[in-house]
Structure 1
C-alpha cells in the first residue's frame, strides 16, 4: 500500500483544518493498494483488485478499512505510487479549473506555489486545457521544474515583483485566473494582477496566514473570489467528481499528465515526510511506502 502526503494531513495534526476529526488519529487522505478482503454486500470491488481512493484520514498505515464508494480501479497501466498521489492535487485542480473557474482555452493562469504537488498539478492541467501558464515559486531551481512541466513564463517571487512581471508577460492585460494554494503576502499582488472578469481561486494557505484582501480590488476589476473545497465537492456533487476522476485517470494513463514524485519515505519516516513538506523541501509529491510490498 502507498499513501501520499498533503497539507491537510499536517493541518489536521495541528488542529487547523476545517474538518477536525477527534484525536488521536492516523492521518493520510489518499492511498493505493490491493484489495485483501471484502465485507458483505460489497459489489464494486473484489479481492485482488488494484485500487486507489480518498480516505480523509487513516492512509498512513499498512492496511486500511475503507468504504467501497471511496475506491476506484487503477487499471494495469498506472503505478501504485502515482495512483496514491494524484487524487488530492489533480482532483482539487480539475475541480478548480472545470467547475469553479470554468477555464477556457487561450486564457492565462497564474499559479502561486507552482513547484509543490498541487502547484505542479495546476501547471500541467492548465496547459492540457489550452491555457497560457505563469508559474510563481520561491527559487530558480523550483522554477526550472515548473518549466519542465509546461510553464510558459516564470516568476521568482523571492526577488521579483508579481504584479510587475504579470503586466510584462500579458502586455498589461493581467491574468484571467489566479490559482492560489499559498495565501499570506502573495495574495494581494496576485489579486491586483487579475484581468477584467478575472477569477481568483482560493485553494489553501500553505504559507500559514489567511490573507486580508481589499474587496474594492474585485469591484474595480469585475473579478470573482472563488472558493475551492474538494472534500465538500466530492460529497455534494458525486457525479461531477466521478467524471473528473475518470478524465484524470485517462489523462495520466495516456501520458498527458505526469505526476512528479519528489521523494519517497518508509512508513516509519512519515513524521519526516510531513516536516519536509511543511518546510518546502519536497518538490512535487511526497509518497509513503506503507508496506514492504510497496517497495517492489
Structure 2
C-alpha cells in the first residue's frame, strides 16, 4: 500500500528541499507499532535541521517531524494487541511527516480522552523540554530567578506557566510588546522588550544589582551571549536552541564571567531514560493539562500534509506567534 510522506534529500530552505512522495507501507515487526497519523505541529526544531544546522548527525534522505498524535493501526508480534485503536503520541520512531509512523511500543504514549488532538500533537518537544529544564536540569526552587529569551515562543510560554506552578520568578525577554500582557497573565514577573530597553541594566534593576540565578537561551548569537552577563556568579546558562543560526560566544563568556554553561538536547535525555520514567513523565504533563494548570498554543492554521510548503511559508510568517500551524 502506497502512502504519502515528506522527504528531504539535501539541506537548504525547507520550502525548496522538501519533496512530497509516496512510500510503501510496511507491517510492524517485533515490538513495533504502526500509527496512522492524525495531526503534527510545525516547530522550529523540525525546520532548523532541514537547513543543515545539525548536518553532522542527520543522514539524508530523511523524513522530518518529531511529534504528533495518531491511532495505532497495527502492532508487531511482540507488542500488545490492546494498543490497536488507541490514540497515542507517535514518538522516537520515524519522522512524523508521513501518513504512517512506525515506532517502539515502549515509546508510544496513550493520550487521555479529555485532551484534544491539537493539544496532544504538541505535547512532546516543548512541554517535555520545559518540564525537564525546570525539574531536572536546573531543579528550580521558589526562591530562584530565571531569565528566558524568545519568551513569546511556544516553549517560552510553557516555562512562564511552570514558573507559576513551581513558584520561581521568571523574567521574560521579547523583541516587542505584542505578547507582554499575555505573558504577565500566564505568570511572568516581568517582561523586557530588548529592542527598546538595555537588557543588562534592566535585569540588574529588577534584581537589586544581583542578577538572575539562571537563564535559558533559545536564540544563540549575540542575544544568547547577552543573557550570560545578566547571571550572577556561580549561576547557570542553559542553551536549548539556535533560532538565529549563530552559536553563542563560548570563549567570551568563559573569559569574562563566572557562570556555568550547559547544553540541553532532549535526545540525550531520551537515550538514558527508562521506559517507565518516560511514561511517568508524560503522565505528569497530562495531569497539568487536564487540571488546566498548563495550556499550549492554540491552532492558528491547519494544512494537508501534501501542502507542506504552503504550511511552512505560513508558519514562518509574522503571524507565527499567534498560534501553532499543523499538518493533518
Structure 2-normalised TM-score? 0.81
The correspondence of residues 128-277 of structure 1 with structure 2, limited to 5 A, is 128-213=165-250, 214=252, 215-219=254-258, 223-238=259-274, 240-266=277-303, 267-277=305-315
Structure 2 residue ranges without an equivalent (≥5):
1-37
- Range with bigger deviation, 79-88 or 95-104: 95-104
Counterpart in 1 of 2:69? Answer: 32
Q: What is the Cα deviation at residue 273 of structure 1? A: 3.5
- Judged with a 3 Å threshold, the aligned counterparts in structure 2 of structure 1 residues 106 and 243 are, in CA distance, closer, same or farther, namely farther
Q: Distance in 1 between matches of 2:180 and 2:81?
A: 42
**1:76-109, Cα deviation, whole Å (9 max, x unpaired):** 1111110110210011111112221121112111
Is the contact between residue 297 and residue 324 of structure 2 (CA under 8 Å) also seen in structure 1? Answer: no
Query: Would you say 1:112 and 2:149 are equivalent positions?
Result: yes
Counterpart in 2 of 1:294? Answer: none
Q: Distance in 2 between matches of 1:55 and 1:44?
A: 20
- Judged with a 3 Å threshold, the aligned counterparts in structure 2 of structure 1 residues 218 and 178 are, in CA distance, closer, same or farther, namely same
Q: What is the Cα deviation at residue 285 of structure 1? A: 5.5
Is the contact between residue 184 and residue 209 of structure 1 (CA under 8 Å) also seen in structure 2? Answer: yes
Higher relative contact order (CA 8 A, sep 6+): 1
Counterpart in 2 of 1:283? Answer: 321
Q: Distance in 2 between matches of 1:138 and 1:157?
A: 5
Q: Distance in 1 between matches of 2:90 and 2:290?
A: 16
Counterpart in 2 of 1:102? Answer: 139
| Greater gyration radius | 2
2:83 is paired with a residue whose SS is coil
Query: How many pairs were matched up?
Result: 287
Structure 1-normalised TM-score? 0.89
**1:204-224, Cα deviation, whole Å (9 max, x unpaired):** 1111211114213332xxx21
Q: Which runs of 4+ in 1 moved over 6 A?
A: none
Is the contact between residue 8 and residue 17 of structure 1 (CA under 8 Å) also seen in structure 2? Answer: no
Q: What is the Cα deviation at residue 191 of structure 1? A: 0.7
Structure 1 residue ranges without an equivalent (≥5):
291-296
Is the contact between residue 25 and residue 57 of structure 1 (CA under 8 Å) also seen in structure 2? Answer: no
Is the contact between residue 238 and residue 262 of structure 2 (CA under 8 Å) also seen in structure 1? Answer: yes
The structure with the greater share of residues assigned to strand is 2
